[in-house]
Amino acid sequence: MTQTDQYEGLMAETVMMTGANGDWINAYLARPLGAGPFPALVLAHHMPGWDEWYKRTTLKFALHGYVTITPNLYFRAGHGTSEDVAAKVRGEGGIPDDQAVGDLAGAMQYVRALPYSNGKVGVFGTCSGGRHAYLAACRAPGFDAIVDCWGGRVLMMPDQLNEKSPVSPLDYTKELNCPILGIFGNEDKNPTPEQVDQHEAELKKHGKNYEFHRYDGAGHGFFYDHAPAYRQAQAVDGWQKVFAFLEKHLRPQRF
Amino acid sequence: MCTMIVEKVNIEGSGKGTTGWFKLEGANVSFDHPFHAPFEHALNIDFVNESQGTSARVAVELSEDAARELVRTILAVLDQAEAGGHLSMSDSIARSA
């Protein structure tokens, strides 16, 4: 973190970027001011959409020295308030996995090409964003670290598969080529602790570099400080784990 | 989405949204994360007219108990209306309009 006698500044704005299928979509980009080089992060927003919590989280990572981009994964659903757009997507049964992976890969390429990038790019997501982040880390070569916070439906049963989600994300585990941090609440129903066990077993089976942390007294979305799900002590510890992991893998010169 | 449990139904009627009344064309019924209700998951109903944009939406987010009680109440009211001979009258008014 910046010392009190140091200059610091942030810049944040909406940008346009190339997503899946060459589509032009918007994204929220925040970055520390200065020449860098800075590590970068791609955020996969959650089911409630490209909302204020995700924009605040984009700023939070930038404050910690990461060039951070959060693509609007619901761009194609039209425009309006983030809730109205997310409600439309919810009514449509979500977005196609391939599209989410393509958008997140496009965001990775965008930030890696910036002149102040150190070349390292991680991906972070919560809820459905944790699932999309996992899919992207497995399927889009080039991510250097992934943080999956309580991603639901990483393990899918055959009767849950459909046109938009034709493959259970867990089945891509063999293709994961970067370290993964998992943050989970033991009172979560999606994923359940048993599903987290299965996820961990799959990572172990394939010899992946993983680090899972599970919190008692916490359920789904316990980082969400605007919601009843928030659990202060668990969230503070969880954020510490997130930043320690990212510093280790995206800014290795400090170690 | 986290549960992905959603059903869409075509409906007739009107809804009052943030900019006033609009014609309803459908309802999206889901059991998934709500935006406002203090539950991990809720029974969400979005009454919508997608041809008028994403803001043409009347939203409710209900607990499971509230949703089940609402369904029972709606059916009870319709049963009373039918018993009183009102349903056919409403239908004839709608047809003549």
d(C-alpha A132, C-alpha A50), whole Å: 14
CB contact B60 to A (< 8 Å) = no
Model ipTM?
0.85
pLDDT confidence of A3, banded at 50, 70, 90? confident
| Residue B19 vs residues A16, A156, A238, B55, B58: alpha-carbon distances, Å | 30, 40, 41, 8, 11
Minimum-distance CB partner of A80 among B2, B3, B54: B54
Structure-block tokens of residue A161: 């598969």
Q: At A142, which helix (H) or strand (E)? A: none
pLDDT digits (tens, 9 = 90+) for A97-114: 999 999 999 999 999 999
- The answer to whether the pTM exceeds 0.90 is yes
pLDDT level of residue B2 (50, 70, 90 thresholds): confident
A10-254 CATH fold: Rossmann fold (3.40.50)
CA atoms of A102 and A140, how far apart (whole Å): 8
Are the beta carbons of B53 and A127 separated by less than 8 Å? Answer: no
Res. B92: pLDDT tops 50: no
Average pLDDT over residues A72-89: 97
Average pLDDT over chain B, rounded to an integer: 91
Q: Which residues of B touch A165 (CB under 8 A)?
A: 4
Residue A42 has, within 13 A of its CA and on its CB side, a CA count of 37
Query: Which of A77, A190, A229 has the CB atom closest to B2's CB atom?
Result: A190
A-chain residues near B59 (CB < 8 A): 83, 87
CB contact under 8 A, A87 and B6: no
* Contact between B2 and A220 using a beta-carbon 8 Å cutoff: yes
**Phi-psi region for residue A53, left (φ > 0), alpha (ψ -120 to 50) or beta?**
alpha
pLDDT band at A252 (very low <50, low <70, confident <90, very high): confident
**Cβ A83–B8 below 8 Å, yes or no?**
no
Facing A80 at nearest CB: one of B1, B28, B53: B53
- In this predicted structure, the answer to whether residue A254 has a pLDDT above a threshold of 70 is no
3-state DSSP helix/strand/coil % of chain B, to nearest 5: 35, 40, 25
Domain boundaries, chain B: 1-62, 64-97
Question: Is the preceding peptide bond at A39 cis, omega within 30 degrees of 0?
Answer: no
The interface residues of chain A toward chain B in range 129-188, judged by CB-CB distance below 8 A, are: 152-153, 160, 165
SS3 of A46, please? coil
Taking Cα atoms as reference points, which of A76, A70, A73 lies closest to residue A123? A70
Report the candidate in B68, B11, B75 with the shortest Cα–Cα distance to residue A91: B11
Q: What is the SS3 assignment for A67? A: strand
pLDDT at position B91: 55
pLDDT given at position B3: 87
pLDDT cut 90: percent of chain A above it:
96
- Nearest CA-CA partner of A134 in A102, A167, A165, A101: A101
Residues of B in contact with A92 (CB under 8 A): 6
Of all residues in chain A, the percent with pLDDT exceeding 70 is: 98
- CB contact under 8 Å between B54 and A221, yes or no, is no
The domains of chain A are located at 10-254
Using omega within 30 degrees of 0 as the cis cutoff, is the peptide bond preceding B34 cis?
A: no
- Residues A16/A27, Cβ–Cβ less than 8 Å: yes
A183 against A7, higher pLDDT: A183
Average pLDDT (B53-61) is 96
Q: How far is B47 from chain A (nearest CA, A)?
A: 10
Q: What is the pLDDT of residue A255?
A: 46
**pLDDT at A1 (0 to 100):** 65
Mean of the pLDDT values across residues A4-27?
96
pLDDT of residue A18: 98
What would the pLDDT profile of A181-219 be if each residue is shown by its tens digit? 999 999 999 999 999 999 999 999 999 999 999 999 999
